[in-house]
A and B are shown apart, each in its own frame.
Chain A
Amino acid sequence: MNNDQNKSFEKKLHSLSVDFELTPTADSWNKIEAQLEQKKKRRFFFWLFPVGIIALMAGVFVLNKEDLSNNKIDETLMLSSPAIKGPQQKILEGSDNTNNKINNATKTDTETSETKNEKEKNNSESEGIVNSSQSPPTTKKHHHLNNHSYAANNITLHSIPEEANEQDVSEALVIGTNHDNSEMIKIEIINSVLENHFILNPSTNNFKQIEQAKKKSHWSIGLSYLPMLSNRKVSYNLQSDNTMIIPDTSAHRKDENLFNNNFGADVYYHFNEKIYLHSGLYVINYGEKTFYDNRVYNVTSVSPTNFADFADYIVPGSETEFTNTYSFIQIPVNAGIALRTGTKTSLNIETGFSYGYLTDARALQLITLNDSLQIKAYDNAQLNRMNRNHFFGNAAISFDWFITKQISWSNGFNVQYQLTDMYKKDELQSQHNYMFGMKTGIKFHFK
């Protein structure tokens, strides 16, 4: 009787309450619409990021190509150079070297020039100064300034940036003439990191640094070691079977972040001294140590797994400890900027994304299905139940120390972010994964 009364009360309570309605405020829809717009923008920017990187890289590539074909800098400098009476320069071992990229050139008597150069060389060795008042050269020539004492004594080296010294001065290139037919000399200052170009103004003996006319591209390769700490935040969306039960797994599971060892082989393409592309092949691992509380979990739905000792991990009624691991082969596509910080160091900042292919998994997953807490095990036997293709956002900052001109040691920090669904069948699970780590490696530059 009492039970009947209870049921009757519940029935009436249900019938009265279930269709209870309240009118929303007038701006309620506007707020929903605003949130939808915001989410749409976020999605847009999420995709804009990798697309932007690709566009940036393509732009840099195209611009670089154009710069190589149009050597406009030399021309501009020639036109804007002050009129000078005659160059005072030390020219040693002058040789013909026609440079088709330099415009407005006129021909000169190379033989005469070489003869005179030879004489000047002898003079300079004794006097350290040359007055080349002969007819102006009208062809492009390389003049190797291999007499360092001359450079030190007669060219005002104090006007060269401090990081360059006389030993760095390797060659001078006649890049054209002023309107009075005097030569303009471009000096390359070679050092360990960058190849800077300077204009020598013979009337003042001052150097003026110019943007490098020829952007010298080069490749480099490297090896990296990245110990990284991963921090995964898993959020559950609506279940695909519409049971709509969102499990509060955090109440049962505690995670402990782990450092994972990662390795990679790098390939760099340097468009010039500043801009480069970075790719390669990495083996990336992440995961965490998990502790499940001492509930009794339903393990009947565990898929067949290769864990030989799986039963040991799930002990009904006791705390379960397990280390989840996921491994990827990763291909980064990063665009970077190298900023020179000293004669032998440069600061590299790069960003981009990585494609990751899931190669190995070993994980326990706590889920709620309708009426019970269940633990599912995933390993390589269930890779087909998981999403294999993943994308990561990358950012890195590193210092390169050039041991020699060709070899540098790189150290820095690396950050990766991943937003993904790891499992494709059982539930819609969004995973935010943050990885922070150090990076050390060695690079070989093919300059």
Chain B
Amino acid sequence: MTDQSELLKRVLAHDRMAQKQLYEMHASKMLGVCYRYCGNRDDAEEVMQQAFVKVFMQIETFRNDGSLEGWIRKVMTNTALNFLKQKRKIEFDELENVSELISVNSDALENFDVKQLMHYVAQLPAGYRTVLNLYAIEGYSHKEIGQMLSITESTSRSQYTRAKKMLAEKIQLPSQYVKHE
């Protein structure tokens, strides 16, 4: 903790060695975050680099009352979303009222290779992938996702449902569709 405070102080002073140290501490994990959103390694690296530049330029805005890693992760997420918006990679299908939700067997994910799972996530359409990441992995609510992506809450829900269904099909999970009123 003291080490982190010391490191943060040096990063705040724009010490290049400290910046590199912070980068090395978090780069692998953050590249993983960016990859989940971008779906390919090249874009993920570009986004991660942009995001780290933002982190170092705006480190003053980090209030030391939360986790630095959590803050950096949020910067990565927002940079990835902006990147996808700018490149117009996110398209949300105009789905009709999706009344079907998928119920999946979670046992299928036991001992599942994470790289293979990420490969399947990367293959999802960008809109599905983004909502899946934000909801299932980052823990945002559909309302928040709607605000972030300028879509309605119900669109976020339906995108998530489709994403989950498609992912389940890819990992060949036995799936069961349940109609909801």
Q: Shortest Cβ distance from B73 into chain A, in angstroms?
A: 9
- CB contacts under 8 Å to A, within B12-70, are 16, 19-20, 23-24, 27-29, 31-33, 35-36, 41, 44-45, 48-50, 52-54, 56-58, 61-63, 66
The complex places the Cα of A23 from the Cα of B164 at a distance, in Å, of: 27
A12–B32 contact, CB under 8 A? no
B150–A251 contact, CB under 8 A? yes
A29's partner among B20, B32, B57, B106 (CB-CB below 8 A) is B20
Q: Which residue of B lies closest to A5 (CB)?
A: B103
Chain A residues, Cβ within 8 Å of B62 = 242
Chain B residues, Cβ within 8 Å of A97 = none
> Which applies to chain B's interface (DSSP): helix, strand, loop or mixed?
helix
Q: Shortest Cβ distance from B116 into chain A, in angstroms?
A: 10
B31–A35 contact, CB under 8 A? no
Chain B residues, Cβ within 8 Å of A24 = 27-28, 31, 45, 48
**Given that A6-B104, A36-B56, A248-B85 are contacting pairs, would A20 and B32 also be in contact in the complex, using a CB cutoff of 8 Å?**
yes
B103–A244 contact, CB under 8 A? no
Q: Would you give the 0/1 interface string for A366-377, flagging 1 where the beta carbon is closer than 8 Å to chain B?
A: 001011110000
A29–B144 contact, CB under 8 A? no
Q: Which residue of A lies closest to B143 (CB)?
A: A371
A123 within 8 A of B: no
B92 within 8 A of A: no
B126 within 8 A of A: no
A25 within 8 A of B: yes
Q: Shortest Cβ distance from A372 into chain B, in angstroms?
A: 7
The complex places the Cα of A247 from the Cα of B146 at a distance, in Å, of: 11
Chain B residues, Cβ within 8 Å of A373 = 147
- For the complex, count residues of B whose C-beta is within 8 A of A: 66
The complex places the Cα of A240 from the Cα of B62 at a distance, in Å, of: 8
The complex places the Cα of A2 from the Cα of B104 at a distance, in Å, of: 8
Chain A interface bracket (under 10, 10 to 19, 20 to 34, 35 or more): 35 or more
B178 within 8 A of A: yes
A17's partner among B48, B66, B118, B176 (CB-CB below 8 A) is B118
Q: Which residue of A lies closest to B57 (CB)?
A: A39
The complex places the Cα of A310 from the Cα of B52 at a distance, in Å, of: 41
Chain A residues, Cβ within 8 Å of B29 = 19-21
Q: Which 5 A-B pairs have the closest CB atoms?
A: A8-B106, A2-B103, A20-B32, A244-B74, A251-B150
Given A17-B137, A368-B147, 9 other A-B contacts at CB below 8 A?
A6-B102, A16-B112, A18-B137, A19-B29, A22-B28, A32-B49, A35-B53, A244-B78, A373-B147
Residues of A within 8 A of B (CB): 2-3, 5-6, 8-14, 16-25, 28-29, 31-33, 35-36, 39, 237-242, 244-248, 251-252, 368, 370-373, 428
Q: List 9 A-B contacts (CB under 8 A).
A: A3-B103, A17-B133, A20-B29, A20-B118, A29-B24, A32-B23, A36-B19, A244-B71, A246-B148
